[in-house]
């Protein structure tokens, strides 16, 4: 069996009895029932996913996957592809948005070169797992071969497995790849049946004419490649991205290893969506960090069945939303672990309950 096949077979539903027990414990804390709202949801889900009613949250890691996209040559982005390696170097120097917010939240950032058309030297925090030097232009043919898509998925799976062995308590997803809102829009259009216009937005800030071109390019690529919506791997290979595949693999690996995974914005959710289409139980392991201003993101979240934690009008990616959401999830877990019960505090629960 391949690593991908083994991983898909290993994913099981989250333990419903643990969910109930975690909520029972929360209900016995010194507060009215349900009064901490979604923090209680985060706590019970985290406990049930990890299989521990007093889970550790100390070690939190965001994997920011980087890859280039051949479709950039169609003029779908406001920035040239050279920005991808430049931003990777910025991540490694600690100067990007995700670095700032991750430091604030006590989260480590690990950058994964899964498909950048550039050769990086050794650097702390950089994991070189290059499957190819970017995807091909899906307006002219498939973005990847099926084997390349599987290889990129397995990079993410391997990273999740190693993170579990290293004692990482919570995983986060992030990405960098100029042009990557184009494959993300293509993926949700194909899987949801929505029109390309309904799910395609301005990405890094393109104007009206460029947006019209972006829609045209996606339509042409879908018509040419004819991806099968019933086969998520076919969709990924024909119109996806290497970093999207890596994220999908990380999410699959997290679910197989019972590690909570916090999914960032539009591009990260494209990867999570592919993972969920491969195995529906995956959605039980996902926390949706936020809702992006990219119009297709809401349709992705609806299809996964994930309620976003934050709505901060973000459209940066990198893992920025995941870093902030991790802090709120951790806060919920600390309520479960640290808040006094009625008995411990000597507080009567007769009125509150």
What is the C-alpha separation between 311 and 51, in angstroms, rounded? 29
Beta bridge partners of 127: 112
Contact assessment for residue 114 and residue 129, using Cβ atoms and an 8 Å cutoff: yes
Q: How many residues does the chain have?
A: 353
Write the DSSP symbol of residue 169.
-
CB 194 within 8 A of CB 242: no
Copy the structure tokens of residue 189.
């259009």
Token digits of residue 13: 């539903």
Torsion of CA 224, 304, 318, 331, to 10 degrees: 180
Catalytic option among 74, 284, 291, 318: 318
Torsion of CA 191, 192, 195, 199, to 10 degrees: -90
Distance of CA 345 to the CA centre of its chain: 40
- Respond yes or no: is residue 74 known to be catalytic: no
Please identify which residue in the block is written with the tokens 């809102």: 181
Strands (DSSP E) contained in 134-269 are 170-176, 261-263
Question: CB-hemisphere CA count at 13 Å for 284?
Answer: 19
Could you give the residue numbers annotated as active site? 318
């Amino acid at each position: 069996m391949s690593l991908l096949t083994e991983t898909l077979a290993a994913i099981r539903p989250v333990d419903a009895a643990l969910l109930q027990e975690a909520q029972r414990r929360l209900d016995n804390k010194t507060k009215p029932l349900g009064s901490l709202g979604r923090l209680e949801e985060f706590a019970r889900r985290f406990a049930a996913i990890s299989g521990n009613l007093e889970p550790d949250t100390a070690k939190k890691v965001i994997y920011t996957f980087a890859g280039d996209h051949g479709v950039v040559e169609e003029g779908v982005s406001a920035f040239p592809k050279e920005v991808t390696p430049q931003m990777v170097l910025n991540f490694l120097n600690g100067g990007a948005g995700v670095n700032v917010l991750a430091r604030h939240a006590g989260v480590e950032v690990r950058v994964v070169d899964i498909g950048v058309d550039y050769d990086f030297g050794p650097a702390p925090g950089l994991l070189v797992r290059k499957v190819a030097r970017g995807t091909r232009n899906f307006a002219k043919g498939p973005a990847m071969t099926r084997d390349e898509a599987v290889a990129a998925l397995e990079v993410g799976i391997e990273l999740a497995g190693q993170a579990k062995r290293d004692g990482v308590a919570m995983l986060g997803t992030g990405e960098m790849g100029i042009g990557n809102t184009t494959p993300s829009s293509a993926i949700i259009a194909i899987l949801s049946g929505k029109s390309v216009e309904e799910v395609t937005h301005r990405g890094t800030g393109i104007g009206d004419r460029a947006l019209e071109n972006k829609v045209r390019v996606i339509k042409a690529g879908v018509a040419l490649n004819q991806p099968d919506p019933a086969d998520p791997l076919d969709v990924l290979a024909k119109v996806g991205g290497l970093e999207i595949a890596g994220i999908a693999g990380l999410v699959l690996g997290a679910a197989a290893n019972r590690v909570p995974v916090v999914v960032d914005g539009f591009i990260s959710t494209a990867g999570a969506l592919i993972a969920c289409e491969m195995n529906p139980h995956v959605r039980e392991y996902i926390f949706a960090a936020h809702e992006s201003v990219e119009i297709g993101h809401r349709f992705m979240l609806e299809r996964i069945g994930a309620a976003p934690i934050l709505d901060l009008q973000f459209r940066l990616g990198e893992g920025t939303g995941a870093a902030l959401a991790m802090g709120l999830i951790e806060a919920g877990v600390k309520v479960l672990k640290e808040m006094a019960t009625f008995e411990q505090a000597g507080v009567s629960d007769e009125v509150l309950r």
